Structure 1
Amino acid sequence: MSQTRNFEQELDQLQIEFRELKQLVLNLHDSRSNPVSTNKPSLDIRTKAHLSHSQLQPHDSQDSELHYAGRYASTEGTTVWTPQRRSIGQLLDLDSDKSAKIIGALGHKQRLDIMKAVLAKPMTGPELVELLQMGTTGQLYHHTKALTGADLLRQDERGGAYFVPAHRKLPLLLLLAASSDLLDTSDYLAMTELRSQASQLFNKADDNYDPHHLLYAVIANAVLEHKAGYCSRIDIFLHRDGSVTVSDNGRGIPIRELESTGRSIAQTVMTDMSAVRLRPSASHIAPGAVEGIDIPSVNAFSETLALEIRWDNRVYRQDYRYGIPQTELLTIGTTVETGTSLTFRPALDLFRSSFDPAIISQYIAELLEENPTLAIQVIANH
């Protein structure tokens, strides 16, 4: 039996391939006409994210251009963005009021959950209420009304399924893709907010907080590793520059990369201030305070912090400043040992006093009474 060919579908596919070929030719032309980019390997988004500002913008930003194209294929068909280009100046001159309204329409968590659910597949109101556990359709209607009014969401006639218009899908998906590369900024914002709440965290009205509370939180994490059966020794080094190192011989924080974020577990442990932890985390509560100080808190309050991990016969290091990574997790050597070392210097504008060996020794004596099989030593002016 002969099969009937769908010439319209074949023509659409040829047009798509022609546009992609055209974009490749444009890219090749740009690379030859721009000596700055000649003979440089192509970089994926993650690599670009770690380049310096000067590397990403060799020219005046007003003269630079953003080239983009896209293709979104699903069971419903294919949506194509033909190759386009926008000058950076044009993007920076966008109407701020209108741009804020667009971002605001998606900035509410429940609205974003609705959009993500409907992007996955069209859903009716009752299905969305059940999936998102909204409780009532009234709450759903409040959000869908705003989204439909912005032409980000539509509904089939007679109360049917909600769906995202075809011409909106690709821009929304690209917004989500961009958000995935900016997720870490939410951690840094949380750290900034934490620093503004220091008086509550340390139970003091002035800006001269006790740095020992940060040290106790780091030690508490090493003790937690001991209680889990993996750490027998903790070394504390007090340095002349006001910094301190806490080193243990535990397992070491895992360094593998998380598929969901593209960041290592170690960086997540150091920066994620949410309640969910990838590794059990101890915290210290200052007397009279209502919240605990954990490892991301220590990172947030540190002018500089160096994380060193001995794991899988290698030594890894990552540097931070006020909680923000300054480097990738770098391999700096080999070792047969395991463990974690944190070297941090509290921010001088918040912690004006220095570490006191006598106070630390008293704290350690109390720890050793509770953990007699744990060895702890303090070395001053190392």
Structure 2
Amino acid sequence: MNRNLGSEIDQLKLEMNKLQKLVGSYLGEASKKAFVMDDLTPDKEQNEGNIYYSGQYRNGHIKYKWDAKEQPIRGLLNLDGEKMAKILSALGNKQRLDILRSVIKGPVAGTELVEKLNMGTTGQLYHHIKALMGADLLVQEERGGSYSLPSHRVLPVLLLLAASSELADTTTYMDMADAREHPDLYLGAAGQAYDPHLLIWALLENTILEHQVGSCTEVHIFFHNERSLTVADNGRGIPITVLSNRERPHLQTVMTDIGQASLSAPYYAAGGEKGISVAIVNALSYQLAVEIRREGTIYRQDYKQGIPQSGIIKVGVTEESGTSITLEPDPDLFLTGFDIEALQKRAIEIQGAYPNLAIHILR
């Protein structure tokens, strides 16, 4: 009896697709159930419930342990807004936070704090220490001894740090929103129609950097239409892995962290005060998709006005390496579209400076 291997493989694929759909459906329902809230009726308060928290902290011979506590949601939502803003503003000073983070590990002398925090003078340190002691956030041992955090303040400070960690990405996205509000800082020509080609020149600047380190020999610019382009190189591909001191993957940091100028090569437009990094390109694009070919895998992540619309997804396998970015400039900022002649002119200029870097424009 002869077996039809092709037919069997097709049937196997069909069964695997069914299984995958079933598993996906199950996980989707489970995910929904995990986050489903009871329907609210007019008889129910919308701010009912409590927040529960407890914990312990050990550092050498110091150990703190707190019994479980609870705070009613209604009370938290009804706190005096002005007072809360003052608290957050007072603790939002970097040097005060550095002091609190240092003394929470154990008593520290004033001279140690000055040296450790690079404050330069003791006067600068004591200005903040006086405020923290007045707020009962710092105590000092007798006779001018070391500083430490009162035990009853340790848990609230740790919870504040934990909450700040959970909200860390909001500052990144606020920076991106600010870039959209002030595009002239990057694009120049304030009050005029901005040139969308500047975004492409910024992407090409990074392919040139890859070429200079010997990792990129070819770039393809795919002209989809006047509002959409793809710049694809055969460089190393942006790393995917999580940075040692960050929770976000390296790729997402490159694409969203405007403050990390060293993560990409900025392009400086005429009249622009700041360089256009890859993160700025992302912030000023209505839609952007980045595809990474690296270490045998193809990864993809989608953005809208700089905000991730998905996680980093594995979409295939490959023997190639490189980065492809497809973007659509924000029509609210860029009134005109791409011009293929301008792209060709720029390609000739780059190839004149870097003859071993081939640039292909395809439509």
TM-score, shorter chain, exceeding 0.5: yes
The correspondence of residues 298-313 of structure 1 with structure 2, limited to 5 A, is: 298-313=281-296
Q: CA 1:57–1:300 in structure 2 vs 1: closer, same or farther (change >3 Å)? A: farther
State yes or no: 1:55 paired with 2:35: yes
**Closer, same or farther: CA 215–334 of 1 in aligned 2, 3 Å:** same
SS in structure 2 of the partner of residue 167 of structure 1: helix
Question: Alignment partner of 2:112: what SS?
Answer: helix
SS of residue matched to 1:336: coil
Rounded to whole Å, the distance in 1 between the matches of 2:38 and 2:315 is: 30
Q: In the alignment, does 2:91 pair up with 1:106? A: yes
Partner of 1:363: 346
Judging changes above 3 Å, is the alpha-carbon distance between structure 1 residues 187 and 172 closer, same or farther for their aligned structure 2 residues?
same
Say whether 1:138 aligns with 2:123: yes
The alignment partner of 2:225 has SS state of coil
**Offset at residue 290 of structure 1 (A):** 2.5
One-letter amino acid of the structure 1 residue matched with residue 35 of structure 2? Q
How far apart, in 2, do the equivalents of 1:239 and 1:55 lie? 40
Q: CA deviation at 1:58?
A: 5.3
Q: 1:335 to 1:107 in 2, by over 3 A?
A: same
Q: Is the 8 A contact 1:199 1:207 kept in 2?
A: no
Q: Which moved more, 1:365-374 or 1:95-104?
A: 95-104
Change beyond 3 A, Cα 1:58–1:352: farther
1:341 pairs with one of 307, 318, 324: 324
Q: Pairwise CA RMSD of aligned residues?
A: 2.3
Which residue of 1 is the match for residue 178 of structure 2? Answer: 193
d(CA) in 1 for partners of 2:175, 2:160: 22
Distance in 2 of aligned mates of 1:57 and 1:355: 47
Change in Cα spacing, 1:296 to 1:104, as seen in structure 2 (3 Å) is same
What secondary structure is seen at the aligned counterpart in 1 of 2:177? helix
1:116 aligns to 2:101 (yes or no): yes
Aligned-residue sequence identity (percent) comes to 45
Q: Aligned equivalents of 1:345 and 1:116: distance in 2?
A: 43
Taking a change above 3 Å as real, the CA distance of residues 180 and 290 of structure 1, as seen in their structure-2 partners, is same
Pick closer, same or farther for the CA change 1:102–1:76 going to 2, 3 Å: farther
Counterpart residue number, 1:295: 278
- Residue 79 of structure 2 corresponds to 94
Letter in 2 for 1:271: T
2:4 corresponding residue in structure 1 = none
Task: Indicate the SS of the match to 1:122.
Answer: coil
Alignment pair present for 1:379 and 2:359: no
Map 1:152-171 → 2, pairs under 5 A: 152-171=137-156
AA aligned to 1:55 is: F
Aligned equivalents of 1:59 and 1:74: distance in 2? 45
The equivalent residue for 1:75 is 60
Q: Which amino acid aligns with 1:341?
A: S
Provide structure 1 residue ranges, at least 5 long, that are not aligned to the other structure: 1-38, 44-50
Q: Distance in 2 between matches of 1:143 and 1:332?
A: 51
Residue 198 (structure 2) aligns with: 213
Q: Tell me by how many angstroms 1:57 deviates.
A: 5.0
Which residue is 1:23 aligned to? none
Contact 1:272 1:296 in 2 (8 A): yes
- Residue-by-residue CA offset, 1:338-380 (whole Å, 9 max, x unaligned): 1111111111111010000011110110000011111111123
State the alpha-carbon separation in 1 of the partners of residues 72 and 318 from structure 2.
50
Instruction: Specify the SS of the correspondent of 1:372.
Output: coil
Say which SS state the counterpart of residue 158 (structure 1) adopts: coil
Alignment of 1:238-257 (within 5 A): 238-240=223-225, 242-257=227-242
Equivalent position of 2:133 in the other structure: 148
| Paired residue secondary structure (1:268) | helix
- Whether the 8 Å CA contact 1:105–1:147 is kept in 2: the answer is no
TM-score normalized by the length of structure 2 = 0.85
* d(CA) in 2 for partners of 1:158, 1:344: 64
Paired with 1:258 and 1:313, the residues of 2 have a C-alpha distance of: 20
Residue 302 of structure 2 corresponds to residue 322 of structure 1: no
Q: Is the 8 A contact 2:199 2:281 kept in 1?
A: yes
Bigger shift: residues 84-93 or 266-275: 84-93
Distance 1:104 1:76 in 2: 33
Q: Is the 8 A contact 2:59 2:106 kept in 1?
A: no
CA distance 1:307–1:134, change in 2 (3 Å): same
The count of residues paired between Structure 1 and Structure 2 equals 331
- After the TM superposition, which of the residue ranges 118-127 and 343-352 deviates more from structure 2? 118-127
Cα offsets for 1:270-302 (capped at 9, x unmatched): 11222453x4x2221111323211101101101
Residue type matched to 1:379 in 2? Answer: L
Deviates more, 1:351-360 or 1:148-157: 148-157
Given residue 244 of structure 1, which amino acid in structure 2 is its aligned partner?
A: L
1:136-155: CA deviations, max 9, x gaps?
Answer: 11111111111111111111
Give the whole-Å Cα distance in 1 for the aligned partners of 2:243 and 2:251: 10
1:22: which partner in 2? none
Separation (CA, whole Å) in 1 of partners of 2:348 and 2:110: 61
Q: Which runs of 5+ in 2 are unaligned?
A: 1-25, 41-45
- Classify the secondary structure of the residue corresponding to 2:69: strand
